[in-house]
Amino acid sequence: MSVPTSSPANKSDQQLGFTHRYIPSPDRSSDIAGLTLLLLHGTGGNEDDLLPLGRELDPNARLLSPRGKILEGGRIPRFFRRLAEGVFDIEDLEFRTHELAGFVEKASRIYEFDPRKVIAVGYSNGANIAASMLLLNPQTLSGAILFRAMVPLVPENLPDLSDKHIFMSSGLRDPIATRQEAETLSGLLKRARAIVDLQWQNSGHELTRDDIHAAKQWLVLNKKQL
């Protein structure tokens, strides 16, 4: 599916501090009330990767899609540094999480969307920074769709996430975001009182049609509360 984007040399990249795409809602009448999907790509991805997924999940949502600023090995975009596969640089993760929350807040003013109606949609590294944002900057998101997420960090004090709706879709055979990781993250979010729906796919780390189908259904069912 092709999605029209804002101008290629986005004039707001510099203002907002992230290379990004912003796609307004095609439905102008729902422009003020609707959701904004914050699309967060996986390691090695970019701001274009998840645009078709975002549009498929919600045909009327605004889409905001930044590119991670860390360049692993000088060329692989990510949202935060890691020391090894699955071993995160927590100091950098905290810094990048706050930085990304600041980007969303500024973007809501520039693009005039409701900052109380932002849902993160993250895959792998993008899901991990989305989970970190729920734990460190909960006011930034009203909910999240997390594909193949791990425990990003455990904060000293758990936030109150009782108004957050979170969908997790994890792979039963995922060697990176393992079953135990997904269950631990789900438990952590639930201890913070979030409403978590964890669903399992018969897959590995890759995203499948079943993930997208399940996420779409969840979004339709939960939209009014997001």
- Helix axis angle, 90-111 relative to 125-136, nearest 10°? 80
- Of positions 24, 86, 115, 159, contacts ligand MLT by CB under 6 A: 86
| Residues 43, 134 contacting (CB under 8 angstroms) | no
| 20 among known catalytic residues | no
Token pair for residue 83? 């020391």
How many Cα atoms are found within 13 Å in the side-chain-facing hemisphere of 21? Answer: 24
Q: Which of 13, 31, 98, 205 is catalytic?
A: 205
Nearer to ligand MLT by Cβ, of 62 and 78: the residue is 78
Residue 207 sits at the vertex; the CA angle it makes with 203 and 210, to the nearest 5 degrees, is 70
User: Nearest distance from residue 150's CB to ligand MLT, in Å?
Assistant: 6
* CA proximity to 103, closest of 33, 13, 25, 186: 13
**Binding of ligand MLT by 69 (CB under 6 A):** no
**Binding of ligand MLT by 142 (CB under 6 A):** no
**Binding of ligand MLT by 170 (CB under 6 A):** no
| Residues 174, 146 contacting (CB under 8 angstroms) | no
User: Nearest distance from residue 104's CB to ligand MLT, in Å?
Assistant: 19
**Binding of ligand MLT by 82 (CB under 6 A):** yes
Nearer to ligand MLT by Cβ, of 34 and 42: the residue is 42
Burial of 2 per CB tally in 10 Å (0-12, 13-18, 19+):
exposed
| Residues 3, 55 contacting (CB under 8 angstroms) | yes
| 41 among known catalytic residues | no
**Binding of ligand MLT by 108 (CB under 6 A):** no
CA distance 99 to 13: 14
Stretch that binds ligand MLT, among 15-23, 27-35, 82-90, 102-110 (CB under 6 A): 82-90
**Binding of ligand MLT by 85 (CB under 6 A):** yes
| 124 among known catalytic residues | yes
User: Nearest distance from residue 205's CB to ligand MLT, in Å?
Assistant: 7
If you search the block for the tokens 């102008």, which residue do you land on?
28
**Binding of ligand MLT by 169 (CB under 6 A):** no
Nearer to ligand MLT by Cβ, of 124 and 201: the residue is 124
For the annotated catalytic residues, the residue numbers are: 124, 174, 205
List residues binding ligand MLT (CB under 6 A).
42-43, 82, 85-86, 124-125, 128, 150, 176
